[in-house]
Amino acid sequence: MLTTSLVSGVTAVAQPTNPSDSEIAAAQDAVTTAQNVVGSLAASLSSSDSEIANLEMEMGGLREAVNKALVDLHDAQAKAEQARQGVSSARANLDATQSEIEAAQAKLDDISRSAYRQGATAPGVGGVSGNANSEDSLDRQTYLRTTAEKQRQAIDDLDRLRTEQANEESRLREARNYAEQQEQDATQAQQDAQQAIDDTNSQLEDKQRQHDELVASRDQAQSNLDAAKANATNLNNQRDEFQAYQEAQAAKEKAEQEAAAAEAARQAAEAEAQKKAQEQAAAQAAADAAAQAEENQRLAAQKDAEEKAAAAAEAKADAEAQANNASQAQAAKDAAATAAGVAAAALVAASQADHASTADPYAGSDTTGANSTTSTSNPIAAVQSDEVANSGNSAVADLDTVKLESTDSVTQKASALVSDASADQKIEAVIARAKSQLGVPYAWGGGNANGPTKGIRDGGVADSYGDYNKIGFDCSGLVLYAFAGVGISLPHYTGYQYQRGTKISPSEMKRGDLIFYGPNAENHVAIYLGDGTMIEAPNSGSTVKISPVRWSGMSPYAVRLIG
């Protein structure tokens, strides 16, 4: 039968079995074996994590390769539209020159007909002897000389216009040939982009299977590790149980001794309390008299305190009034800064094509047909590749109607809207903009200057996670969005983002810098937050989140866009 002791609240329990020495030795051997197994499992787990990280970088590179193909496609489409508008402009110039030629020819014909009529009415030689006839002859010669000069000028004008017409025809032919080549390049870029999506889809399916197998292997290793630890704990518990019982018994005996001592101390304390009560009664009378004097002092002190409190309240009210005015001014300044950031992002967004689409946005603006004479002024998206931005054709480059914007020219315009902000304020605005999207789903190809967008539909891995039907970001799309708020226009591809700003050593990174992964920044990008953390949109199935900086696989340089 179990008995319970109420002394010191200690509960008596049945004595456990004391294991023999051989049993303890066997248990210790089992613990050692389990620890060896745990070490092996831990190594296996670490290896699996490393393989998974490497595979995720490969998958990121495949996705960013498609982003590059899409950026190149949109640049090719913009160049083709530039060429089409160049042809239209050249044709309009040619038509204008033709009209001038026709007008000049008509003017020359009028002069010639007038000269012919004047010559037909001239008098014979015999009629030139009188004074009046001599004056008429002089006037007639002056007229003919003037007419001849007008004819020469008209002929010169006609020759000049015909030369210009020939030049315009040459420019039109060159512009048309260039437009046709750009059309072919855009068509090829569209095919390349679609092929990249198709090829990437099959590779991602294989990589995803490997990824799932590694994750399953890692999870199994973790499960085995947990089981081994639980077994080791159970073995140690058996060995410790009897020692715990002995310690409990010793504690019980000690508690009983302490209880007896406490009772003796209680009785002594009661006697001491009675003695003190008598002494306190004698002291109370003296205390009452002292209390009255103290009360008088307290009242005086209270009055003084109230007067000082009133003065302090008045000073506080004055300070609060001043603080409210300052607060209102700061609030107005903050609102203006927010509005400027929204305007800058809108300007960047207006300059960019729909990234996830392979369709030609200028398909309805063909101006190269033989019967087309209308010059178009459809807006053309800014080119995002430095190589494309710096290339051009002489046949269209000098035409005012076909100037192409670039990410640099858009940045120059948009950043002017937030020029009042300091570098530190811009960095904090970028990070706040990125953090506002924490928890937003990953969507391959998603994200523009205005926020999250639908991702790329690839028919495979991304679709299995619903990327094409999600409103979200991929890694380069999140960076594009964050920096648009401070007027910086970036391409939707990590490799092109790597070419912007100032390259720095990763060891010198500061808050707001870009961290890239892959030998040429082709795998992934994130924004450094400081304290060893970064914000990123990692991969399909995940969300925008803050992660520890991963140093493995990092590109040779980080990039600083601000400061």
* Calpha distance 478→490 (Å, rounded): 11
**Contact residues for 507 (Cβ-Cβ < 8 A; gap 6+):** none
Please tell me the total count of domains within the chain: 2
CATH number for position 444: 3.90.1720.10
| CA dihedral over 166, 172, 175, 178, signed as positive or negative | negative
CA distance 428 to 177: 49
Positive or negative: CA dihedral 221, 226, 228, 229? positive
Residue 345, in any domain of the structure: no
Domain membership flag for residue 390: no
- Scored b (16 or more CB within 10 A) or e, 464-484 reads ebebbebebbbbbbbbbbbbb
Cα separation, 557 vs 543, whole angstroms: 26
Two structure tokens written together for 92: 């309009």
pLDDT at position 465: 56
The verdict on residue 326 lying in a domain is no
Which residues are annotated as catalytic?
475, 524, 536
Tell whether 7 is covered by a domain: no
Q: Are strands 471-472 and 502-504 parallel, antiparallel or unpaired?
A: unpaired
Of 165, 166, 162, the residue nearest 105 (C-alpha): 162
481 with 472: CB under 8 angstroms? no
Q: How far apart are CA 527 and CA 512, in angstroms?
A: 6
Domain assignment of residue 544, yes or no: yes
Inside any domain, residue 77: yes
Give domain status of residue 304, yes or no. no
User: Distance of alpha carbon 501 from its chain centroid, rounded?
Assistant: 15
- The reported pLDDT for the residue numbered 251 is 82
- Bin 544: left if φ > 0, else alpha if -120 < ψ < 50, else beta: beta
Q: Is 49 helix (H, G, I), strand (E, B) or coil?
A: helix
Single out the residue in 244, 270, 285 at which a domain terminates: 244
């009209």: which residue's tokens?
Answer: 99
What would the two tokens of residue 399 be?
């035409």
Pick the closest to residue 521 from 54, 64, 200 (CA basis).
64
Instruction: Give the per-residue pLDDT at 293.
Output: 59
Give the CATH number of the domain where residue 203 resides.
Answer: 1.10.287.620
Q: Would 41 be classed as within a structural domain?
A: yes
Number of neighbours of residue 485 by Cβ within 10 angstroms: 25
Instruction: Give the pLDDT confidence score for residue 125 in this predicted structure.
Output: 43
Strand partners for 527:
514, 535
pLDDT of 533 reads: 98
Contact indicator for 66, 193 with CB cutoff of 8 Å = yes
Residues whose CB is less than 8 angstroms from the CB of residue 256 and which lie 6 or more positions away in sequence, other chains included: 5, 7, 8
75 is in which domain, residue-wise? 29-121+141-244
Q: DSSP per residue over 125-141, as a string?
A: GGGG-SHHHHHHHHHHH
Q: How many CB atoms lie within 10 A of CB 291?
A: 12
Predicted local distance difference test score (pLDDT) of residue 42: 59
Looking at 244, 271, 286, the residue that finishes a domain is 244
Identify the segments of the chain with pLDDT beneath 50.
Answer: 1-10, 123-130, 368-376, 400
